[in-house]
Amino acid sequence: MGMDVPYYYRNKSQYPVGYDKEGNLVAGFYAGRTHQIISCRNCAIADPASQLIIDTVLDFMKQYGIRAYDETTGKGIVRHILIRSGKSTGQIMVCLVINGTRLPHKEALIEALLEANPQIVSICININDKNTNVILGRETEAIYGQDYIEDCIGSLRYRISAQSFYQVNPIQTKKLYDKALEYADLHGDETVWDLYCGIGTISLFLSQKADKVYGVEIVEQAVKNARENAALNEISNVEFFAGAAEEVVPAKYRESGGTLRSDVVVLDPPRKGCDEKLLQTVIQMEPKRIVYVSCDPATLARDLKYFGENGYVLKRICPCDMFGHSYHVETVCLLSKRSIMSM
């Protein structure tokens, strides 16, 4: 599934902030296999609004003498600029990742950003004072507006926070989710488990044609958003659990005395794929169909091999060009129990 116009599609961009070799304050992207920041004024896959927002933040930092974070000394304040946009709503979030608990002169930044782009509805700071390569810290605070933006995929509306997982290409996401729904082949009486559910994007898609959907997600803020999204769309046949899928699902299976079953299981793990303990439990739940959405062909192949050795057959596979101008691909697969291959 290709994209007709694979430019300016990203709804999320993260820009490290630092200094170039001449000591100039810059934001952009890391050079390959380094932490040297290459200034980027016009990224052909990012939201076009990003550059003016970046310029506004850098001008603010220069005006008020606010230093960028230096990972070698652990000093300085601003580490990253995170920008999220709702492609269907036009809403924009700007989140500064800072080394500390407060941003000096934040009122001036708010005023400058709103003057630069009136579509900004959320300005946040994310606190990350750890010596780490992880971009976001655990705590996010809204300093203007709400701590989320909203976007739509198809007829469903979603709230997205700074830390939520949400596919970066909404046009291709609609195609991907439609394909996942097609593979799930729901008729209204099925129970579905959606593992690694994020803010409930796939869960809510599935809920329109299922009897009951259970979602599991490790990020607590994303689970909060998922519950809000269900309420926002007046969907009541979904339930979300916070925790690691490889811990929550086996625990639920044990609590049921080994009777927990699911007609369909949807898996959408991170690049590392699924934990073997989770794969074992999914097989014990005896779903008729497994829909596996993957962003990494290597771990996908590993997990498909495991399912193949345990009674499931790969029936269909469809790649989706989610990340135009890169070698990355999103893939959706349908597996069926070997005993019901005639579906």
- As averages over each run of 10 residues, the pLDDT of the chain (343 residues) reads 95 96 95 92 93 97 98 96 97 98 97 98 97 94 97 94 92 96 97 96 96 96 94 98 97 96 97 97 97 97 98 97 94 89 46
Give CA–CA dist 68/98, Å, rounded. Answer: 9
Amino acid at 6: P
Which residues lie below 8 Å from residue 73, measured CB to CB, with a gap of 6+? Answer: none
Write down how long the chain is: 343
Give CA–CA dist 224/73, Å, rounded. Answer: 36
Give the 3-state secondary structure of residue 119. Answer: coil
Give the 3-state secondary structure of residue 116. Answer: helix
Choose among 89, 69, 97: nearest CA to 13. 97
Residue 341's pLDDT is what?
46
- Cβ atoms of 183 and 316 within 8 Å: the answer is yes
Q: What angle do CA 159, 88, 169 make, to 5 degrees?
A: 80
Torsional class of 238: left (φ above 0), alpha (ψ -120 to 50), beta (otherwise):
beta
Torsional class of 156: left (φ above 0), alpha (ψ -120 to 50), beta (otherwise):
beta
Maximum Cα interatomic distance, the chain, rounded to a whole number of Å: 69
Active-site residue numbers?
Answer: 295
* CATH code of the domain made up of 164-340: 3.40.50.150
* CATH code of the domain made up of 12-146: 2.40.50.1070
Angle between helical axes of 276-284 and 297-308 (0-180°, round to 10): 40
Choose among 117, 116, 111: nearest CA to 144. 111
In the chain, list all ranges with CATH 3.40.50.150: 164-340
In the chain, list all ranges with CATH 2.40.50.1070: 12-146
User: For residue 27, what are the β-bridge partners?
Assistant: 17
pTM for this prediction: 0.90
231 to 151, 177, 325: CA distances (angstroms): 15, 20, 36
Which residues lie below 8 Å from residue 152, measured CB to CB, with a gap of 6+? Answer: 86, 88, 89, 158
Handedness of CA 134, 137, 140, 143 (dihedral sign): negative
Residue 264's pLDDT is what?
98
Would you call 229 exposed, middle or buried from its count of C-beta atoms within 10 A (0-12, 13-18, 19+)?
Answer: buried
Q: Count CB atoms within 10 A of the CB of residue 74.
A: 11
Residue 339's pLDDT is what?
72
Give CA–CA dist 181/312, Å, rounded. Answer: 19
Q: Which residue has the tokens 């994007």?
A: 201
Choose among 155, 83, 153, 154: nearest CA to 119. 83
Residue 42's pLDDT is what?
86
- Cβ atoms of 294 and 274 within 8 Å: the answer is no
Residue 342's pLDDT is what?
46
Q: What angle do CA 65, 135, 67 make, to 5 degrees?
A: 10
